[in-house]
Structure 1
Amino acid sequence: MSTANAVEPVDLSALQRPSGAFAMVAIDQREALRNMFAEHTDSAVPDAALTEFKLEAARALSPYASAMLVDRQFAWEQVVAQQAVAPGCGLIASADHFEAAYGEVVGRVTIDREVDPQTARTQGAVALKLLVLYRPDGGGAERVEMVEEFVRLCRGAGLISIVEPVSRSPLGGGDWDWDAGVLAAAEELGSLGADLYKAEIPLHGEGPAVEVARRCEQITATVDSPWVVLSSGVREDVFPTAVETACRAGAAGFLAGRAVWASCIGKPDVAHELRTAAVDRLRRLGDLVDTVVGR
């Protein structure tokens, strides 16, 4: 276990609801979001369309979210300049640099050196987030080193550190077990000092509830910090039940994007869908985690 853990727990209240639960929304998707828009048009999707969507989502959802996660590439400066995030909603900056590689939209991730932690804090950030790709066939030392550096950068700036490992296929090919990767990532990276751990939901929330819960309990036992679930790979209609199962097994809430707003994309009036259908989903999810996790 890293010596980075020999510190007092960080105050996470800037990211929490009054109940103590986390009900956070991610709008930091990048080329993956462009691909989602591209499914509904024959034209190229310009950067401006992604920025507009992110601003609309921030305005619509932040009054009901305990925190919003925003990326530098398409929206951070605009969100800050336009004060698009509601007062009382914590602002999280993505501090990861994505590269396409190995046939994946996000195949390589490093710390984004263009995100200065001190500047982000001055602009209103209370936390930084780092995505980490876990592959079963190597790279462990590099992942650990990157996470430990990220934690140090956050601590140095007085920011909460959020680490988001995701399970990916081995570069060497062959059969692999995605769920085993979710649990192995927690084992490798969950004790490196991050203040909050963001995990994929085992079995994408669609296996037997008792088995989803058992695997979530393994994450709870492995990770030193509070942890929350993400929604990528989980169907929108399944996500609430999956969140409840995970929280009853030790998770403290969610930091989710697609399960909240993805179905708004492609609708005739996206902004209206965000203000109505997406807000309704988020409010129900917030009530859920308040009930299950709340103090």
Structure 2
Amino acid sequence: MLAIDQRESMRAMLAEKQSAPVTDQQLVDFKIAGLRALTPHASAVLIDHQFAWKPAIAGKVVAQGCGLISAADHFTASGDEIVGDSRIDENVDPAQVAKDGGVALKLLVIYRPDEPAEPRVAMVDAFVAKCKAAGLISLIEPVSRKPRDGRAYDLNDGILLAAKELGSRGADIYKAEVPLHGAGSEAEVRSQCEKLTSLIASPWVVLSSGVAPDQFPTAVEWACKGGASGFLAGRAVWRGVIGSENVEAALQADAVTRMKRLCDVVDRVAG
């Protein structure tokens, strides 16, 4: 599955390639081009409402047979983090998402070891209930972040603790960071993925943030061997295209190749 719901983080990526401020229209144009090029190769695509949902629906740019997943989270920055906090976006109407042809909603959840579990659990429970009421698949994306109080911190512990806390709250799909961000040995990464599998009651997939794009296919393979069902990723597919003079050509030459390779890995290992 393809993710193209990045918002201010995508703006930051574009800003690295130009001196002028990045406009909202640049984000829309890049997202629409990515949807046209990549959704023919994806089983589903995750789209944000802030920039891309309405243009994608109106323009019919998503390939037939590619399921529509709507981001249903609102992000706020915090300190040096572009996404420091996340909450349910009440402006996203599940009934309208279904009317537009959407099949699922996604909620990103920030896990910090120094913050209480109760608000996170309550938010996930409310989100799952909202999806069920609308007849939509619920997809949660807990991400491990550093504590605000400065205590010692281990990213991988956070990935596992988030899964322990939220992996059995009724969500239909769990989207997890690759354990160790794929930087360990195969045995180490697979062992951590097996722990995730034991903690998550639903099918789960990996995201690509934190993993080098060229390493991500291997990380996906190891994750699937450890129990994952596939991937829902964006950066590892299209980040290398950002800043290209001819985005459409670069998407075909680079991003489509990466997407196909990832799909081949999942078909071979988890299919």
| 1:138 partner amino acid | E
- The equivalent residue for 1:79 is 56
| 2:170 partner amino acid | G
Say if 2:90 is the partner of 1:113.
Answer: yes
- The equivalent residue for 2:172 is 195
Match of 1:164 among 141, 147, 161: 141
Whole-Å separation in 2 of the counterparts to 1:150 and 1:292: 31
Identity between Structure 1 and Structure 2 (%)? 56
- The equivalent residue for 1:101 is 78
User: Secondary structure of 1:144's match?
Assistant: helix
Which deviates more, 100-109 or 145-154? 100-109
Say if 2:41 is the partner of 1:26.
Answer: no
Deviation of residue 272 (structure 1)?
1.0
Match of 1:186 among 156, 163, 166: 163
Which deviates more, 277-286 or 145-154? 277-286
Deviation of residue 270 (structure 1)?
1.4
How many residue pairs are counted as aligned between the two chains?
271
Whole-Å separation in 1 of the counterparts to 2:26 and 2:147: 34
Q: Which runs of 5+ in 2 are unaligned?
A: none
After superposing on structure 2, the runs of 4+ consecutive aligned residues of structure 1 that deviate more than 4 Å are none
Whole-Å separation in 2 of the counterparts to 1:120 and 1:64: 22
- The equivalent residue for 2:191 is 214
User: Secondary structure of 2:161's match?
Assistant: helix
User: Secondary structure of 1:256's match?
Assistant: coil
Whole-Å separation in 2 of the counterparts to 1:41 and 1:153: 40
User: Secondary structure of 2:232's match?
Assistant: strand
Match of 1:136 among 113, 120, 128: 113
What CA RMSD, in Å, does the superposition of the two structures yield over aligned residues? 0.7
**Higher-RCO chain (CA-CA 8 Å, sequence separation at least 6):** 1
Alignment of 1:44-59 (within 5 A): 44-59=21-36
Whole-Å separation in 1 of the counterparts to 2:42 and 2:253: 14
Match of 2:250 among 260, 273, 276: 273
Deviation of residue 37 (structure 1)?
0.3
Q: Which runs of 5+ in 1 are unaligned?
A: 1-23
Deviation of residue 102 (structure 1)?
3.1
TM-score by length of 1: 0.91
| 1:81 partner amino acid | A
Whole-Å separation in 2 of the counterparts to 1:87 and 1:255: 18
- The equivalent residue for 2:208 is 231
TM-score by length of 2: 0.99
Say if 2:233 is the partner of 1:256.
Answer: yes
Whole-Å separation in 2 of the counterparts to 1:291 and 1:79: 31
Deviation of residue 128 (structure 1)?
0.3
